[in-house]
Amino acid sequence: MSNTEEIEHLQCLIIGSGPAGYTAAIYAARADLHPVIYTGIVPGGQLTQTTDVDNFPGYPQGITGPVMMEDLKAQAERFGTQVRFGYATEVDFSTDGGIHKIQIDGSKWVTADTVIIATGATAKWLGLPSEEKYNGFGVSACAVCDGFFFKGQDVAIVGAGDTAAEEATYLAKLCRKVYMLVRRDEFRASKAMVHRVQNTANIEVLYNTETEEILGDERGVNAVRVKNNKTLQESVLDVTGFFVAIGHKPNTELFQNSLDMDETGYLLTKPDSTATNIQGVFACGDVQDHVYRQAITAAGTGCMAALEAERYLAGRDD
Ligand code: NDP
Question: Alpha-carbon torsion 290, 292, 298, 302, what sign?
Answer: negative
The Å distance, Cα 318 to ligand 1 centre, comes to 46
**CA-based angle 315:271:18, to the nearest 5?**
85
Q: What pLDDT does residue 47 have? A: 79
Alpha-carbon span 275 to 269, nearest angstrom = 5
Query: What is the pLDDT, as a whole number, of residue 6?
Result: 82
Q: Mutation test of ligand 1: which of 139, 144, 188, 190 has the most ligand atoms closer than 8 Å to its C-beta?
A: 188
Ligand 1 pocket, residue 209 CB under 6 Å: no
Strands (E), 219-317: 220-228, 234-237, 241-244, 248-250, 281-283
Q: Looking at the CA of residue 126, tell me the nearest atom of ligand 1.
A: 18
> Tell me, what's the pLDDT at 4?
53
Q: What is the C-alpha to C-alpha distance for residues 62 and 93, in angstroms, rounded to an integer?
A: 40
- pLDDT tens across the length of the chain (318 residues): 545 568 999 999 999 999 999 999 999 999 999 999 999 988 888 777 666 788 899 999 989 888 999 999 999 999 999 999 999 999 999 988 889 999 999 999 999 999 999 999 988 999 999 999 999 999 999 898 899 999 999 999 999 998 899 999 999 999 999 999 999 999 999 999 999 999 999 999 999 999 999 999 999 999 999 999 999 999 999 999 999 999 989 999 999 999 999 999 999 999 999 999 999 999 999 999 998 988 999 999 999 999 999 999 999 877
CA atoms within 13 A on the CB side of 308: 22
Structure confidence at residue 52 (pLDDT): 75
CA terminus-to-terminus distance, the chain: 31
Whole-number pLDDT of residue 242: 98
> CB within 8 A of 136, min separation 6: which ones?
49, 50, 51
CB contact at 8 A, 312 and 114: yes
For ligand 1, the distance from its centroid to the CA atom of residue 134, given in whole angstroms, is 22
Atom of ligand 1 minimally distant from the CA of 160: 9
Q: How far is the CA of 314 from the centre of ligand 1 (A)?
A: 42
pLDDT for residue 43 = 81
Within 10 Å of residue 245's Cβ, how many Cβ atoms? 25
Q: Crossing angle of helices 65-78/19-30, nearest 10°? A: 20
> How confident is the model at residue 96, as a pLDDT?
85
- Whole-angstrom Cα distance, residue 84 to residue 30? 18
